[in-house]
Amino acid sequence: MKQHVLVLGGTGKTGKRIVERLNNLGHMVRVGSRSANPSFDWNKPANWPEVLSGIERMYITYQPDLAVPGAKEAIAALTKVAQDQGVKKLVLLSGKGEVEAEHCEQIVLNSGIDTTIIRASWFNQNFSESHFLEPIQHGVVALPNAGSKAPYVDANDLADAAVEVLLNDGHEGKIYELTGPRLLDFETIVNEIAQATGRDLKYIPISLEEYVGAMKSMGLPSDVVWLIEYLFTEVLDNPDNQIITRDVEELLGRQPIDFSDYVAETAKTGIWNQVVA
């Protein structure tokens, strides 16, 4: 049966992949973004009822992160609108190892609407579609927490998992923690990308203080600096993020995409060879 599905963040890293998959399956998909019509903006709740009108199932991703101040209040307000509009299923993208995100999870889980939580920490695509891309193009990647490792998950695995729990029964009230198949540190990541691209990439370990100072000197907004600092401390160093799960295999019946496979496919696009002076 075809479903009316709203994908918040439908132009983002995970959302655009979910939208593509749902469209290919023939579902009626509404993209939740500021550029869509009707427009969805986390800072403009007055038009949320219009965006959710007629929607049966909804994928929620909060920008910039569920850990930031104000996220809990926004999730609570959105959940109330979903209740009023008769939405039947919610899937929330949450942060693995984030206490603040867990507070948001409880709001949605206790809403009375069938809810599934998908937790993830860091994505493979952070190195090709996000803040780590430009340093790679420059050829020098300077990052703190050199010894920290994380089981990076591929955004395509998450999109497949989200579509599974959105469309099918049996996932209500469950929390899935999606990871890749192995733990990786920054030096290993940069070396794998260097080998795949044939470039001489350098990883330089720096202190968190140096990294934060560099972000401030670049003029990044204070809330962005706060979030990145939080992710490098509370999230990356959290023991919960050193655990590899089998949830991708449980949901999809296959092994998760390995970082090396992601690197091989991404290298073919040439994006890492677009050298920035």
> Is residue 29 a part of any domain in this protein?
yes
Number of structural domains (the chain) is 1
Cα–Cα distance measured from residue 268 to residue 264, given in angstroms and rounded to the nearest whole number: 7
In the numeric block, the tokens 């080998």 are attached to 195
92: domain CATH number is 3.40.50.720
> Is residue 235 a part of any domain in this protein?
no
For residue 26, CA distances in Å to 23, 130, 169, 175, 215 come to 5, 29, 18, 27, 43
Asked if pLDDT for residue 144 goes beyond 90, the answer is yes
> Is residue 203 a part of any domain in this protein?
no
> Is residue 209 a part of any domain in this protein?
no
Cα–Cα distance measured from residue 168 to residue 268, given in angstroms and rounded to the nearest whole number: 34
Q: In percent, how much of the chain has pLDDT > 70?
A: 99
What is the pLDDT confidence band of residue 277, given thresholds at 50, 70 and 90? low
> Is residue 56 a part of any domain in this protein?
yes
Domain range holding 173? 4-123+152-180+240-257
> Is residue 42 a part of any domain in this protein?
yes
> Is residue 201 a part of any domain in this protein?
no
Asked if pLDDT for residue 63 goes beyond 80, the answer is yes
Asked if pLDDT for residue 138 goes beyond 90, the answer is yes
What is the pLDDT confidence band of residue 29, given thresholds at 50, 70 and 90? very high
pLDDT at 66: 93
Which pairs from 28-32 meet CB under 8 Å and 24+ separation?
Answer: 28/2, 28/3, 28/4, 29/5, 30/4, 30/5, 30/6, 30/55, 31/7, 32/6, 32/7, 32/8
- The answer to whether 11 and 62 have CB atoms below 8 angstroms apart is no
Cα–Cα distance measured from residue 97 to residue 67, given in angstroms and rounded to the nearest whole number: 10
> Is residue 13 a part of any domain in this protein?
yes
Asked if pLDDT for residue 276 goes beyond 80, the answer is no
